[in-house]
Amino acid sequence: MSDELKAYRGRLLHCPGAVSSADDCEYLDDGILLVRGGHIEAVLGADQRSELSADIEFLDYQRNWIVPGFIDCHVHYPQLDMIGAYGEQLLDWLETYTYPAEMRFADPDFAANAAEFFLDQLLRHGTTTALVFATVHAHSADALFNAAARRQMRLITGKTLMNRNCPPQLCDTADTGVAESRELIRRWHGRDRLLYAITPRFAPTSTAGQLEMAGELAAEFPDVYIHTHLAETRRECAWVAELFPDRRSYLDVYDHFRLVRDRAVFAHALYVDDRDRDRLAAARAAVAFCPSSNLFLGSGLFDLAATSAAGVRTGLGTDVGGGTSLGLMQTVDDAYKVSQLRGHGMTPWEAFYLATLGGARALHLDDRIGNFATGKEADFIVLDTAATPLAARRSAAAADHWEELFAAMILADDRMVRQTFVNGRPMSGQ
């Protein structure tokens, strides 16, 4: 990695910390982002350009925006071949479309090819970090880690644990699931920018024995992630209550097996109560709000206001293939509509925070990514809010930068992502 200083000029926006008003975000209408050796060096006003040595690499993005790379807190890389699958809700959708798609990952070459394609697509949509479901096959996690390492991405994944209520070809056992996970942790966790997540699919597809062993593994590796689904549909919740009759709630099933703690990320959490939310907050666990998936699968409307009020760390997840876009801006578009239906709306700065620093905080990575603080890893994107004729017209009519950015997120189009930088390097293929 070259340690040369590089400068990028444009409209800079990021969240230095938590956001409760527009003023909590830092916006420079004409700013310079200084990057050295994969890390953020400083944010300057363009009027400070004369302080920079004349011979440094300087790229002028003019009226384009330079913002932190987006963070997807829940997505499935094996589900790109069945995204937008028609006609079913969660449990039937899994049987009809999802499990057959995941069976194809038994072939390591297929998995390797899918991993490359998936990461190129993430980058194209402006996502630089993701927490990702692989399949039950250990080599599916290897494939994604390898592809992410080649791109120097900060990425979290793990092999799925599932040993009942699924097709036999996709079943592991309590013993093999944990043994393979342990090997993968040793191989990948903390290597380059990669991190491991112990990944039980959801409570119905693991026996109590498997969840128990997953909890023991988590205790053995306290800084490893836990990634699963929680309370996404009413039918699923009724099934979990039948399978685990002694537990107070769905969350309590995971809690009983010591899977609720910091670095645990629960996708959805639609059908939870205040006690569950308080428990999630106290445990420093996180929730991935996946509005596109929740709408597409008809699962329900997430209560962002109650979750935020309880102090639960919350990020956005695309949940592709339940979700219908890999883009975080498209996900903001759906999140806003869900919040409207819930009756509380969502501010532009809240939306931007969720897609950047909020996601980093949900993943306990806010000391490394999510904004332009000095020393952070240099994952950032260049956005062109005039990339399409309609977006150009709408941008030109905006009264201020928040109106422009918000409308751009609602018009959400990956053509707006002009360039993605990972670890200070421009990614190709865009």
Binding residues (CB under 5 A) for Zn ion: these are 267, 319
- 317 binding ligand GUN? (CB under 6 A): no
What is the full DSSP assignment across 84-105?
Answer: T--S--HHHHIIIIIHHHHHGG
Dihedral sign of CA atoms 126, 129, 131, 135 in order: positive
From residue 343 to residue 382, the character string flagging contacts with ligand GUN as x (rule: CB under 6 A) and all else as - is: ----------------------------------------
351 φ, ψ to 5°? -65, -45
CB of 161 to ligand GUN, least distance (A): 12
CB of 63 to ligand GUN, least distance (A): 38
- 202 binding ligand GUN? (CB under 6 A): yes
CB of 99 to ligand GUN, least distance (A): 9
What is the number of other CB atoms lying within 10 angstroms of the CB of residue 39?
17
Note the helical H segments in 125-207. 138-150, 174-188
Q: Six-digit token pair at 160? A: 């799925």
Contact 355, 70 (CB under 8 A): yes
* Rg of the chain (C-alpha set): 21
Residue in 139, 229, 277, 361 binding ligand GUN, rule: CB under 6 A = 229
Residue in 9, 125, 201, 394 binding ligand GUN, rule: CB under 6 A = 201
Q: Which range touches ligand GUN (CB under 6 A), out of 47-55, 90-98, 347-355, 376-384? A: 90-98
Q: Six-digit token pair at 128? A: 């630089």
Distance between CA atoms of residues 331 and 128, nearest Å: 15
Distance between CA atoms of residues 225 and 332, nearest Å: 25
Q: Return the one option of Zn ion, ligand GUN, none that residue 14 interacts with (CB less than 5 to 8 A, by type).
A: none
CB of 232 to Zn ion, least distance (A): 8
CB of 417 to ligand GUN, least distance (A): 25
What is the full DSSP assignment across 28-83?
Answer: EEEEEEEEETTEEEEEEEGGGGGGS-TTSEEEEEEEEEEEEPEEEEEEEGGGGGGT
Residue in 255, 276, 319, 377 binding ligand GUN, rule: CB under 6 A = 319
Residue in 76, 227, 376, 401 binding ligand GUN, rule: CB under 6 A = 76
Q: Return the one option of ligand GUN, Zn ion, none that residue 98 interacts with (CB less than 5 to 8 A, by type).
A: ligand GUN
CB of 402 to Zn ion, least distance (A): 31
Contact residues toward ligand GUN (CB under 6 A) are 76, 90, 94, 98, 201-202, 229, 232, 293, 319, 322
